[in-house]
Amino acid sequence: MQTKLIKPFLLMAIFVVIVGLACGLGNGEPTPESQPPTQAADKPTEPPQQEPTQTPLPQQEPSEAPPPTPEEQPVEPSGGAVSSLQDAQEAVIYIQAEGAFTDQDFKEYTGSWTGSGFIIDPSGLAVTNNHVVTGASILKVWIGGDYDNTYNATVLGVSECSDLAVIDIEGDGFAHLDWHEGPISVGMDVYSAGFPLSEPEYTLTKGIISKEQADGDTTWSSLDYVLMHDATINPGNSGGPLLNENGQVVGVNYRGRWEQDQYFAIDRDLAIKKIDVLKLGEDTETIGLNGEAFVGENISGIWVSSVKAGSVADEAGLTGGDIILNLADLPLGTDGTLSDYCDILRTNSPDDTVNLEVLRWATQEVLEGQLNGDKLVTTVSFGDGDTRSGSDTGTDGDISSYSGYVSVQDDYGAIQMDIPVEWVDVNGSPWVDGDDIIGSAISAAADLDAYDSNWGVSGVFFGVSDDLAKFGGYVNLLDVVRDDYDENYGGQCKFEARVNYGEGDWEDAYYRGKMDIFSGCGGGDNYFVVLSAVPRDNPQSFLVLVEMAINNDADYEALDQIMATFDVVGNLP
């Protein structure tokens, strides 16, 4: 089973429906680019599958250089302006960025992601997307499919709202692309060039302009309008050029709606205006974020994936995983786009002092401060140190972490899981229903008697039954457990949500099921989690039930460990 960061999910499941990253965390690009693979959950105000086209590789070790495929024909730079579509490859680049970022599942990654771009000047100036480069510590570039030569690059300037960046590749004498000079109209033949899907082979796809002024507001950018076309792009195409039949640039690719076969590029005229500023080494419409808007049930804001070192955001104290709730005393992301955020940036000059309010889930705090002013400080804390009311906390107290974990098995050696070392009271006797043994079970806590009688004491029950599997599925079992709580505990727990387990945010290679989340059990400030699941390879073979009381920060980590390690390892009784 895979480890999952469960603490933040439990908190957010109650208050927020998080929007998936528009950049593609998980398959190759940092934010917008790689989102087709890592598909966003619930985008209330944005068309489905409208994702950036970057390809993040969060958990892969970055390679020094992508290995060329046998079919590739590396192109030697000619040093002049490209004069044909066939030669455009000479000026199209493959970008590998390395750095750290935090995705909207609260997972922190240090690794690499990829995107595309194109050279616009023999000196090595190149254009790509902001979401491809912002937050990267290292940028490596390969030109035209030539993987014998690796180039370093530096970021000269970025625009968050326009999702554009200009980088400077070391060296000079490079082939470069010119801009298309004629009108851009519906029906015009266009070609998407780049290096999608983190693969080293250059690709070129053909299509037409299908709309001249499509909506330019997305979760990660805000433009007056963009070009819509059907020259296919994929994650990793972010920042690559949209070309005419002569190899001249019509626009900069940056997102797609894959199910609708609709793709989008930043229009030439809008791009040139921004690039003329960026290539001078100046940022515009940015505070130094790689981020994205989202809307939940009771909250909206701008999710921060990563922060550019030395930027205004960095100096204010923003970090990956923060959610900007308000800027200039105005709420952000209420429509699911970056529109309000970008309007504020465009209204204020880069040096203006602007009020800032941030939600930081990592420490469960609300912070206030200013851009170009006072650094963020905590104003509200709802994590460590909160006073629980309504139920005795037993012996657990406010623990931030356990000292370690130990693997335990039931009395039959049939099932096992990891539990905190502090949970010394372990019972591995069979799972019984009256006088009948129905399966294997493990209960564990610091004091099982206290756990059984007090909601405020942390502990876990893990049971597996092949008998119950004969009478119903995991949903039936979950319903029975919920009814049992209502009947026997008089509604002492408030039901908050039922979520899927084994896919998406709860990816698990071996089990799938559903999880019920309760809060306020016995009137306390706590959670109670009930998971019912079945094995993927043989769903009818047995049912899994996991119940756990969560009373402090350490318990979230313990739940994460339990979910990562519970398993059937022997024959059930």
Instruction: Tell me the pLDDT tens digit for each residue of 181-234.
Output: 999 999 999 999 999 988 889 999 999 999 999 999 999 999 999 999 999 999
pLDDT given at position 486: 60
- The count of residues in the chain is 573
Same domain flag for 237 and 338: no
| 139: its two tokens | 């940028």
Cβ of 508: how many Cβ atoms within 10 Å?
Answer: 17
Does residue 560 register a pLDDT over 70? yes
In a domain, 26, yes or no: yes
The pLDDT value recorded for residue 9 is 39
Give 373-384 as a DSSP string. SSPPEEEEE-ST
The per-residue pLDDT for range 80-123, each reduced to its tens digit, is: 899 999 999 999 999 999 887 776 666 676 778 899 999 999 99
The predicted structure's pLDDT at residue 136 = 86
For residue 218, give Cα distances in angstroms to 130, 257, 340, 524. 14, 12, 11, 41
The yes-or-no verdict on residue 358 having pLDDT over 60 is yes
Stretch 426-434: mean pLDDT: 90
> Is the model's pLDDT at 62 over the cut of 80?
no
Q: Across residues 69-79, what is the average pLDDT? A: 46
Whether 1 is covered by a domain: the verdict is no
Token output for 557: 């980590």
Whether residues 270 and 297 fall in one domain: no
- Rounded mean pLDDT of 557-569? 91
**Three-state SS for 168?**
strand
Query: With pLDDT > 90 as the criterion, what percentage of the chain qualifies?
Result: 50
**Distance between CA atoms of 518 and 133, rounded to whole angstroms?**
41
Q: What letters, b where the CB count within 10 A reaches 16 and e where it falls short, cover 408-422?
A: bbbebebbbbbbbeb
pLDDT-wise least confident of 22-26, 70-74, 422-426: 22-26
CB atoms within 10 A of CB 65: 16
Q: Model confidence at 399, in pLDDT bands (50, 70, 90)?
A: low
Cα R_g (the chain), whole angstroms: 27
Residues 197, 78: one domain? Answer: yes
The span from the CA of 103 to the CA of 531, in Å, is: 24
166-175, 449-458, 484-493, 528-537: range with lowest mean pLDDT: 484-493
Whether residues 173 and 309 share a domain: the answer is: no
Q: Do 195 and 332 fall into the same domain?
A: no
Contact call for residues 46 and 337 (beta carbons, < 8 A): yes
Asked if pLDDT for residue 46 goes beyond 60, the answer is: no
Q: Is residue 151 part of a domain?
A: yes
Rounded to an integer, what distance in angstroms lies between the CA atom of residue 375 and that of residue 192? 43
Q: Within this chain, do residues 306 and 417 fall inside the same structural domain, yes or no?
A: no
Is residue 164 classed as helix, strand or coil in its secondary structure?
Answer: strand
The answer to whether 453 and 484 have CB atoms below 8 angstroms apart is: no
**Segments forming the whole domain that contains residue 120:** 14-278
User: Would you state the pLDDT for residue 198?
Assistant: 82
Q: Are strands 108-119 and 55-57 parallel, antiparallel or unpaired?
A: antiparallel
d(CA 101, CA 138): 13
Same-domain pairing of 301 and 271:
no
Return the pLDDT at 469.
Answer: 65
pLDDT at 324: 94
> How many domains does one find in the chain?
3
Q: Which of 278, 301, 319 is the last residue of a domain?
A: 278
What is the DSSP secondary structure assignment for residue 113, as one 8-state letter?
E
Mean pLDDT, to the nearest integer, of 474-502?
73
| pLDDT of amino acid 142 | 95
Q: What pLDDT does residue 80 have?
A: 84
Instruction: Please tell me what DSSP assigns to residue 39.
Output: P
pLDDT at 294: 79
State the chain's mean pLDDT as an integer.
81
d(CA 479, CA 490): 16
What is the CATH classification number for the domain harbouring 444? 3.40.1000
464-to-389, 468, 503, 563 alpha-carbon distances in Å? 34, 9, 21, 14
Rounded CA-CA distance 233/92 in Å is 14
Examine residue 391 and state whether it is found in any structural domain, yes or no: no
Flag the least confident range among 359-368, 475-484, 535-544.
Answer: 475-484
Burial call 521-558: b when 16+ CB within 10 Å, e when fewer: bbebbbbbbbbbbbbeeebeebbbbbbbbbbbbbbbbb
Residue 2 lies in a domain: no
Burial of 215 (0-12, 13-18, 19+ CB in 10 A): middle
Kindly state whether residues 534 and 436 are assigned to the same domain: yes
For residue 59, the 8-state DSSP code is: T
Both 252 and 301 in a single domain?
no
Q: Looking at the domain assignment, is residue 387 inside a domain?
A: no
Q: Which helix (H) or strand (E) holds 106?
A: none
Q: What is the pLDDT of residue 289?
A: 87
Question: What pLDDT does 12 receive?
Answer: 42
| CA–CA distance, 441 with 430 (Å, rounded to integer) | 5
CA separation for the pair 549, 10 (Å, rounded): 12
pTM: 0.56
Looking at the fold, whether 373 and 308 belong to one and the same domain comes out as yes
pLDDT: is 522 or 266 the higher one? Answer: 266
Over residues 251-265, the pLDDT tens digits come to: 999 999 888 889 999
From 278, 298, 326, give the residue that closes a domain: 278
The residue out of 232, 253, 278 marking a domain boundary is 278
CA 495 to chain centre: 27
> In this predicted model, which residue has the larger pLDDT, 399 or 514?
514
Q: What is the mean predicted confidence (pLDDT) over 400-414?
A: 87
> What value does the mean pLDDT take over residues 456-480?
83
Residue 192 lies in a domain: yes
Residue 419 has a pLDDT of 94
pLDDT number for residue 111: 78
Whether 387 shows a pLDDT value over 70: the answer reads: no
- Contact predicate 284/159, CB 8 Å: yes
223 and 149 in a common domain: yes
DSSP-derived 3-state class of residue 342: helix
Q: Residue 296 domain-assigned? A: yes
The count of other CB atoms within 10 Å of the CB of residue 481 is: 15
Residue 283 neighbours by CB under 8 Å, 6+ apart? 157, 158, 159, 311, 350
120 and 150 within one domain = yes
Measured between alpha carbons, how far apart are the two ends of the chain, in Å? 23
In CATH, what number is assigned to the domain containing residue 163?
2.40.10.120
Closest to 295 measured CA to CA, from 113, 13, 43, 2: 43
